[in-house]
């Protein structure tokens, strides 16, 4: 029977953030929550969407790096974490190139002639 | 000391050492979370496409949302992420009381979130903004009823699958709490808390995007 191989190995906690750093991260997240609510009250047109998404992305980064401990994780775990978002970007990019070229988006002017040519007059 | 929990110690026999086991556990959870990103990504994609089709309509429908309940719920969820992170810390540094307290707090906050969410669903039901189960859908804003109905369809699907994830997470934390109360999950045995924490933080991240996209895009009435 094999002996357990951890014998003799010093028991040590994996690298992690201090309690102070975790609390500071939480405070930063709450400040960003207040910021996203405040920014939404100002009419910035398209800027509202950009600001909301940028703040959400910042909060996501803080949660992933500090709370999910990616700061002290191995490169492989970081790579897999990023891969999820990379695949998400592929899904969005391909879907938008599809819908964008079919006249789904109301202001996609470039798509309009294509739609007219193939469907509006019916006799391409 | 660690042999008190299991005759084999904290390391399963297919692993060389604790660090390798922990990295494998972490990698497995991150791989699962990748599939979760794409799972939620699908509904976010549907949301984006319908919103771009009628941005004014979505803004109008979003304006009927209860902003403060949404903001309070975001704060509740961020608090629960902190308590989870503190639970992981307590487990890794072998502080049992702190671990139990943090797990209990996490579950209280999770239940609070679901309670507020349930109240919001009830509000939507009262306002006839719940296009589910054949309920009458009545919308009196400026958006076309079809756009408003699509917004609330997406609202219920997105927040619904998010809530299901939270319920599953609370089930996982219940099991961890039982183990912690029996004196487990400390030191070398703390990896399950970290792995469950990754899942909980991910569910928090989903809400971080749901909140602005569902509650904050509208002109407030």
Residue B193 has pLDDT above 50, yes or no: yes
What confidence tier does A118 reach under pLDDT thresholds 50, 70, 90? very low
Q: Which residue of A has its CA nearest to B197?
A: A68
A109 or A22: which carries more pLDDT confidence? Answer: A22
Q: Is the dihedral of CA A75, A78, A84, A86 positive or negative?
A: negative
| Residues constituting chain A | 124
Answer yes or no: are the C-beta atoms of B147 and B58 closer than 8 Å.
yes
Counting every residue, how long is chain B? Answer: 221
Residue A121 backbone phi and psi in degrees, to 5: -90, -10
pLDDT at A49: 87
Distance of residue B125 Cα from the nearest chain A Cα, in angstroms: 25
Distance from CA of A33 to the nearest CA of B (A): 8
Q: Which of B207, B206, B179 is nearest to B193 (CA)?
A: B179
CB contact residues (below 8 A), chain B span 137-166, against chain A:
none
- Exposed (0-12), middle (13-18) or buried (19+): which is A37, by Cβ within 10 Å? buried
| Helix or strand holding residue B193 (H, E) | helix B191-215
DSSP classification of residue B3: G
C-beta separation of B11 from A4 below 8 A: yes
Interchain proximity A87–B34, CB inside 8 Å: yes
- Nearest CB among B52, B89, B209 relative to A16 is that of B89
Q: Tell me the two tokens of residue B154.
A: 């997406």
Mutation site for B-interface testing, chosen from A43, A68, A86 by largest number of B Cβ within 10 Å: A68
Location of structure tokens 């009419």: A43
Q: How large is the angle between the packed helices B145-181 and B191-215, nearest 10 degrees? A: 160
Phi, psi of B114 (to 5 degrees): -65, -35
Rounded average pLDDT over B59-72: 91
Calpha distance B157→B65 (Å, rounded): 15
**Residue B200 pLDDT grade (very low, low, confident, very high; cuts 50, 70, 90):** very high
Which element (helix H / strand E) includes B18? helix B18-53
Tens digit of pLDDT for each residue in A31-58? 999 999 999 888 887 788 899 999 999 9
């Amino acid at each position: 029977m094999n002996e357990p191989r951890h014998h003799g190995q010093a028991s040590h906690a994996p690298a992690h953030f201090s309690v102070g750093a975790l609390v500071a991260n939480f405070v930063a997240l709450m400040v960003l929550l207040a910021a996203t609510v405040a920014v939404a009250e100002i009419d910035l047109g398209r800027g509202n969407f950009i600001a909301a998404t940028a703040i959400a992305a910042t909060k996501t980064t803080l949660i992933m790096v500090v709370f999910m401990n990616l700061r002290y994780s191995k490169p492989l775990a970081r790579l897999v974490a990023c891969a999820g978002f990379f695949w998400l970007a592929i899904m969005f990019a391909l879907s938008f190139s599809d819908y964008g070229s079919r006249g789904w988006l109301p202001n996609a002017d470039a798509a309009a002639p294509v739609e007219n040519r193939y469907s509006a007059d019916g006799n391409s | 000391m660690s042999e008190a929990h299991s005759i084999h110690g904290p390391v399963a026999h297919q692993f060389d050492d604790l660090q390798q086991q922990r990295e494998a556990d972490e990698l497995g959870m991150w791989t699962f979370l990748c599939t979760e990103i794409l799972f939620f990504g699908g509904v976010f994609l549907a949301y984006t496409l319908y919103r771009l089709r009628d941005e004014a309509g979505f803004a109008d429908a979003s304006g009927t949302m209860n902003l403060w309940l949404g903001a309070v719920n975001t704060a509740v969820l961020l608090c629960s992420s902190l308590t989870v992170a503190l639970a992981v810390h307590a487990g890794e540094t072998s502080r049992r009381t702190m671990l139990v307290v943090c797990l209990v707090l996490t579950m209280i906050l999770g239940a609070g979130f679901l309670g507020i969410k349930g109240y919001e669903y009830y509000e939507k039901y009262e306002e006839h903004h719940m296009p589910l189960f054949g309920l009458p859908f009545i919308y009196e804003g400026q958006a076309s009823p079809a756009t408003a109905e699509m917004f609330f369809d997406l609202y219920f699907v997105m927040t619904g699958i998010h809530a299901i994830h939270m319920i599953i997470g609370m089930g996982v934390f219940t099991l961890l709490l039982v183990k912690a109360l029996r004196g487990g999950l400390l030191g070398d045995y703390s990896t399950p808390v970290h792995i469950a924490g990754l899942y909980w933080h991910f569910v928090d991240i989903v809400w971080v995007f749901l909140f602005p996209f569902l509650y904050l895009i509208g002109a407030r009435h």
